[in-house]
Amino acid sequence: MSTLIRSETSGSSEITRDDLLTYYQELHDAYGHQGWWPSEGWFETIVGAVLAQNVSWTGASQAVSTLKKSGLLDPEALLLLGPDTLAPLIRSSRYYNQKAVRLLVFAEFFMTRYRGDISLMKQEETGLLREMLLELKGFGPETVDSILLYACEKPVFVVDAYTRRIGSRIGWFPVDASYELMQNFFTTRLFPDPDLFNDYHAQLVYLGTSICRTKPVCESCPIRQMPEDLRCPFVISDTPRVRKKP
Ligand code: SF4
């Protein structure tokens, strides 16, 4: 069984900004720029962030497509629909009744506070906007931070279950780290660069869905090839033991 060598012995404090950039560069070299968020506009991004809660992106993107084909990727149009008409349209995103209400809560907030103008929302001070969004019913840190980064282009690092799995295996933080601890791990080391934060998160999601899955495919992982002091200990400890001579 693999162990978290780095975090259990010396702690993640020894990981520097340059180290984190090296991990990113390795993933970028392997997979290219991910071009997130996969949407055609800021409101589609926000709708996608809400619908992707607790479901695969496939299920969420089907619901987004349905709304798009119906000409409903517009906050005013959603408010005219109401929850009972909206919910069946987003059925593929699971928990669709709750998510219909969440979309309408956001649309109401956005139309009331920013008169439907995304440029006004982008001008809001980041900490205040984050607080207000977190107060909306059903909006947790991951959803809010996705909106801040991918729709408002604010320098906010998004972390999720893939970040937890990969980061704990590499030894960046413990597997039971809080959302804030994981987020601070990145934001205290990296310069607040929305483009970097955008693609770093996207690279981790790609790695988490394709390689570093529940059962990781380490032989295909770019992090396996890194210099020994940065290499993932999950792999190092999995290396077959050489039997000592008697
Ligand atoms: S080497 Fe294996 S465990 Fe480590 S990050 Fe890559 S896939 Fe995950």
Q: What is the pLDDT of residues 95-141, one digit of tens each?
A: 999 999 999 999 999 999 999 999 999 999 999 999 999 999 999 99
* Cα–Cα distance for residue pair 65/67, rounded to 1 Å: 5
Q: Which of 217, 228, 232 to mutate to test the pocket of ligand 1 (most atoms within 8 A of CB)?
A: 232
CA of 38 to the centre of ligand 1 (A): 25
Judge whether residue 173 has pLDDT over 80: yes
Domain boundaries, the chain: 5-35+158-235, 42-151
Q: Find the DSSP H helices in 90-138.
A: 96-114, 118-123, 126-134
Q: Which CATH number fits domain 5-35+158-235: 1.25.40.10, 3.30.1490.100, 1.10.1670.10, 1.20.1290.10?
A: 1.10.1670.10
**Ligand 1 pocket, CB under 6 A:** 166, 169-170, 211-212, 216, 218, 221, 223-224, 232, 234-235
Mean pLDDT, all residues of the chain = 90
Judge whether residue 149 has pLDDT over 50: yes
Q: Domain 42-151, what architecture?
A: Orthogonal Bundle (1.10)
CA of 105 to the centre of ligand 1 (A): 39
- Please, how many CA atoms are within 13 Å of residue 190, restricted to the half-sphere of its CB? 24
CA of 130 to the centre of ligand 1 (A): 32
How many other CB atoms sit within 10 Å of the CB of residue 70? 11
* Cα–Cα distance for residue pair 115/80, rounded to 1 Å: 16
* Cα–Cα distance for residue pair 101/99, rounded to 1 Å: 5
Query: Which phi and psi (to 5°) does residue 95 adopt?
Result: 45, 40
Angle at 130 between CA 129 and CA 131, to 5 degrees: 90
* Mean pLDDT in residue range 56-79: 94
Answer whether 130's CB lies under 8 Å from 144's CB.
Answer: yes
Decide which of 233 and 169 is more confident.
169
CA of 148 to the centre of ligand 1 (A): 29
* Cα–Cα distance for residue pair 233/73, rounded to 1 Å: 45
107: amino acid identity, one letter: A
